[in-house]
Amino acid sequence: MKVSLFVTCLVDGIYPHVGEAMARLLARHGVKLDFPEVQTCCGQPAFNSGYWEDARGAAITLLDAFEDSDFVISPSGSCVGMIHHNYERLFENDNVLLERAKKLMDKTYEFTQFLVQVLGVKDLGAYFPHKVTYHPSCHGTRLLGVKNEPLELLKHVRGLELVPLPFGEDCCGFGGTFAVKMSDISGAMVEEKAQHVMETEAEVLVGLDMGCLMNIGGHLHYKGKPLRVMHLVELLYEGVKAKA
């Protein structure tokens, strides 16, 4: 079985430790990740900005990169959501590429989906004695329907106190190009989100998308709020190492 890592732009360029934690965590469950170096962006920024031809070029690169993979796993609900919900639109006028896109869609999973749905793993034996709140990102929750999987994984972490995030499903305001095009609105949204995070009195904010976490974490840092911001895979891997 060939399981490939789709690392995404933000993880590859800014947060490589997230991809490393994911690879090491899956290795503990017998999954050795393949990494096609030709992979690039999924095409979402270009697609959302109306540059569909550029988005098609990026998407074709992914089709080629993961052609022979049995599973494609990514630490981003947003990028996986792009593949699942927009690749059919990109290639609707090309039957050959459309079929290839459908095959990629069928075998591409967000990390927690793969762990819980495919591997059937909910309890990794992790220990993380901290007060944690969880931000459910828009694309992962709404586009992919990833709701229970991350909560199941957090529920089985020893020592962890999970506190609800008020208005948790409200957008953080990042939205990729939205944060650039509508910066005033984006800033107001992340201000509200950060305030709700602080209301929980949590030590750690965890989520599934580095775009959201970068936005919220950056605002908290700007406001001088001492709160650790982590991708869920980082928390789980740190918890597994602590238990060991």
13 Cβ contact list (under 8 Å, min separation 6): none
User: Does any domain span residue 238?
Assistant: yes
pTM of the model: 0.93
Task: Write the pLDDT tens digit of every residue in 175-192.
Answer: 877 877 888 898 999 999
What 3-state DSSP class applies to 120? coil
Is the same domain home to 144 and 236?
yes
Structure tokens at 116: 């819980």
Contact predicate 237/224, CB 8 Å: no
User: Does any domain span residue 126?
Assistant: no
**Is the pLDDT at 166 greater than 70, yes or no?**
yes
- Quick count: other Cβ atoms within 10 Å of Cβ 50? 9
User: Does any domain span residue 125?
Assistant: no
Check residue 165 and report its DSSP letter: P
Is the same domain home to 161 and 201?
yes
Of the residues 93, 118, 143, the one at which a domain ends: 118
Cα–Cα distance between 204 and 219 in angstroms, integer?
15
Is the same domain home to 52 and 81?
yes
Cα–Cα distance between 2 and 33 in angstroms, integer?
8
Task: Write the pLDDT tens digit of every residue in 27-78.
Answer: 999 999 999 999 999 999 999 999 999 999 999 999 999 999 999 999 999 9
Q: Which amino acid is at 229?
A: V
Sign of CA dihedral 103, 104, 110, 114: positive
| Percent of the chain residues past pLDDT 90, beyond the cut | 86
CATH number at residue 101: 3.40.50
User: Does any domain span residue 124?
Assistant: no
Is the same domain home to 112 and 56?
yes
Of the residues 118, 145, 165, the one at which a domain ends: 118
Is the same domain home to 137 and 31?
no
Task: Domain of residue 140: give its range.
Answer: 131-243
Sign of CA dihedral 197, 198, 202, 205: positive
Structure tokens at 198: 């602080």
Is the same domain home to 114 and 136?
no
